[in-house]
Amino acid sequence: MVFLNGTTFPNGTTFPNGATMAQHFRMARYIPSYNPPCEGYWQTILDDGPMSIGESPGLWEWVEPPLIPESVWEEALQLQEKHQIMELVVDGLNRGGLILHWKGIECFVPASHLIAYPFPADPIAREIQFQDYIGKALRLCIIEVEPIRNRILLSERQVAECELAEPDWPGWLCSGHVCEGLVTSVRPFGAFVDIGPLEGMIHISEISWGRVRHPCDFLEPGQKVEVLILNVDPDNQRVALSLKRLTPNPWDKVENYIQTGDVVTGTVVSVERFGIFMELVNGLEGLLHISELDGDEGSRGIHRRYEVGQQICVRVLDIVPDEHRIALGMMKSSDFVDKDFVRKGSVTHATV
């Protein structure tokens, strides 16, 4: 048999690897010849150093990747499934994108997943733009978790889609459910409570059946509370909570606490130009109208004579439960003549 290069082998010749003439001929046809790398290949390897910024091993130094607990990878998968937004600081770059770290895992943002994409094709111009990201915090979402390669792929461009993605809410997150939460902050208009999937708010009007001057009088950060879910807004990820509705509304059975004609020692909670609001029992409030007050001093005289926290003995003139209204009158010396009083808590039931 004669090869194309002119070499002649007699029929039946075998080679050291045991292959016959025909087998060796077929192998020679399909095995490509060795071609040494061109100068451009080695030049690319040498130039790759300046194009990589961040922690890297020395020349020919092997560094074992850190052992990441399985729980961290599971957390990363949950963040990906829930389309959670992360905020990480860029601490490195390479030819293809940006490098960040999250809980010991090297994260990578490909250049095509940055909002500023596309970048210049020139390596030097691209490096200059990438260097502007070093030290900056980016809002990112996870697009791929690779435990085998010990890395996580992130995207800046898909953050908008993640924010619009409908989250997978637990079944108990619905109106009417009672759950436990942790107060995270207290503001003049209410309190924010972390209930697990997200943060809800207790409006100041839902803290107590009585008057609430400031939520901090009832709640403080770090306090554990039991709340009732009033409303869930999935689109805006808002949850309205209530604290007071876990207790009976005193207005539903106001006759159990107070009746018309009762004499009550109330506490002034607000002084207005038209009268005085007083807290009576179980959060019930009544109005002592200015016409029931002694003297002709007008609204200015009310503020001079009465102040918040002052206790006044008053008589219940009228109760309108549907309107949450109680009319009060001042006790006069004639009211104590020929009357039989029976004490019952802070309320005096008077029989004329």
Per-residue pLDDT tens over the stretch 130-169: 999 999 999 999 999 988 888 899 999 998 888 776 666 7
Write the single-letter amino acid at 49: G
Query: Given the structure tokens 């038209």, which residue do they identify?
Result: 274
* 3-class DSSP state of 170: coil
The answer to whether the beta carbons of residues 278 and 269 sit under 8 Å apart is yes
* 3-class DSSP state of 27: helix
Write the single-letter amino acid at 90: V
Dihedral angle of Cα 237, 243, 245, 251, to the nearest 10 degrees? -130
The model's pTM? 0.47
Q: Do 70-164 and 255-351 fold alike per CATH?
A: yes
The answer to whether the beta carbons of residues 325 and 287 sit under 8 Å apart is yes
Pairing outcome for strands 178-187 and 105-110? unpaired
* 3-class DSSP state of 41: helix
pLDDT at 170: 78
Instruction: Give the separation between CA 242 and CA 230, rounded to whole angstroms.
Output: 7
- Give the chain's length: 352
pLDDT at 30: 46
| Domain spanning 178-246: CATH 3.40.140.10 | no
Pairing outcome for strands 178-187 and 151-155? unpaired
Among candidate residues 133, 129, 131, 112, the one with its CA nearest the CA of residue 120: 129
Query: Given the structure tokens 């910024």, which residue do they identify?
Result: 53
pLDDT at 264: 87
Pairing outcome for strands 263-272 and 275-279? antiparallel
Kindly list the domain boundaries of the chain, sorted by start residue: 1-34, 70-164, 178-246, 255-351
* 3-class DSSP state of 308: coil
The answer to whether the beta carbons of residues 332 and 339 sit under 8 Å apart is no
- Which CATH architecture best describes the domain 70-164? Beta Barrel (2.40)
Q: What is the pLDDT along the chain (352 residues), one digit of tens a residue?
A: 544 444 555 555 555 555 555 555 555 444 455 555 555 555 555 555 444 555 555 554 555 667 888 899 999 998 888 888 999 999 999 888 899 999 989 999 998 899 988 888 888 888 888 999 999 999 999 999 988 888 899 999 998 888 776 666 777 888 899 999 999 999 999 999 999 878 899 999 999 888 888 999 899 999 999 999 999 887 777 899 999 999 888 888 888 888 899 898 889 988 888 889 998 888 888 999 988 887 655 666 788 888 888 998 999 999 998 888 899 998 765 554 444 443 333 454 443 3
Q: Strands, E, within the chain: which ranges?
A: 85-89, 92-94, 97-102, 105-110, 137-146, 151-155, 178-187, 190-194, 199-203, 224-233, 238-242, 263-272, 275-279, 285-289, 311-320, 325-330, 340-344, 347-351
The answer to whether the beta carbons of residues 258 and 281 sit under 8 Å apart is yes
Cα 280 vs. chain centroid, distance in angstroms? 39
pLDDT at 156: 93
Cβ atoms < 10 Å from Cβ of 215: 22
Angstrom CA distances, 234 to 160, 175, 313, stand at 16, 12, 50
Angle at 178 between CA 174 and CA 180, to 5 degrees: 110
List, as own/partner pairs, every contact residues 78-83 make where C-beta atoms lie below 8 angstroms and the sequence separation is at least 24, other chains included.
79/142, 80/141, 80/142, 80/143, 80/144, 80/145, 81/168, 82/167, 82/168, 83/141, 83/161, 83/162, 83/163, 83/165, 83/167
Angstrom CA distances, 130 to 118, 154, 309, stand at 12, 16, 64
Can you identify the CATH homologous superfamily of domain 255-351?
Answer: Nucleic acid-binding proteins (2.40.50.140)
